[in-house]
Structure 1
Amino acid sequence: MKRSRLTRWALWLWASPNTFVGLVLGLLLIPAGARFSRVDGVLEIAALRRQPRHRWPFAAITFGHVILGTHALELERLRAHERVHVRQCERWGPLFLPAYLLAGAWQWARGRRAYWDNPFEVEARRVGGG
């Protein structure tokens, strides 16, 4: 679906509080050797130059139009999944992070898995895989 320039700017602005968080986190990773690349209008940040020896709590995480990944291979592997989260950030704007956390807390309170059963993750797996 091709979006007008005005629509793209409006979505970018609406998601910008989340994007700002991702940018700050990315800048903090520069001393660790983080690499930045722009892929289809999204800033992807590979935190490490090679796979970490120890497992991180996540392989990639999305903040607005910024995707932080442990390394470039994970960013490539999870690109479709994380792009669903970019679209969710465009839909929810500054409400995305609180909504995501509340959805996970609600699943946990119901005796389910906070991450795996989170509706945002369910949609990302269904639409983008991963």
Structure 2
Amino acid sequence: MRIIRYLWASPYTALGCLVGATALATGGSGKLVDGVWEFHGGAAVRFLNRLPLPNVAAITLGHSVIGRTAQALEDTRSHERVHVRQFERWGFFMGPAYLGCSVVLWLRGRDYYRDNPFEREAYAKQ
């Protein structure tokens, strides 16, 4: 069953590992923590700076987490692990579902990040 969860989330994990490899090639670091690849520094910071969220500390892509620093990864680990479980449940559909929720919330004048049900679950369980 575990292999199915990894395969289901693998398109996003591959993307996260690509960003992570770029981070490693530009002076960043990475390690495997409880079955999740964690990368920080180097190009990972530039990647996070391009996201539409100001000052984001980390982002989860499948079974990979891209963070600004090692401390940011440690500080956000419980929150980001909730997102890992969400990727295991939603697989390929996680990206469209997350973005779709954010767009609907934004169109309704609500906070596209804090009111997103995926984020609400992560904050509630961290």
The TM-score range, normalised by the shorter chain, is: 0.7 to 0.9
Q: C-alpha separation between the residues in 1 aligned to 2:96 and 2:23?
A: 24
Q: C-alpha separation between the residues in 2 aligned to 1:96 and 1:111?
A: 23
User: What is the deviation of 1:46?
Assistant: 1.5
Alignment of 1:1-130 (within 5 A): 7-48=1-42, 56=49, 57=54, 58-128=56-126
% identity of equivalent residues: 47
SS state at 2:32 partner: strand
Let me know the Cα RMSD of the aligned residues: 1.5
Structure with greater proportional helix content: 2
User: What is the deviation of 1:47?
Assistant: 2.0
> Please, which runs of 5 or more residues in structure 1 have no aligned partner?
1-6
Q: C-alpha separation between the residues in 2 aligned to 1:31 and 1:78?
A: 24
**Which amino acid in structure 2 is aligned with residue 12 of structure 1?**
Y
The structure whose Rg is larger is 1
Q: C-alpha separation between the residues in 2 aligned to 1:89 and 1:47?
A: 23
Q: C-alpha separation between the residues in 1 aligned to 2:8 and 2:73?
A: 24
Tell me which stretches of 4 or more aligned residues in structure 1 moved more than 4 Å.
none
Query: Is residue 24–residue 30 contact of structure 2 (8 Å, CA) maintained in 1?
Result: no
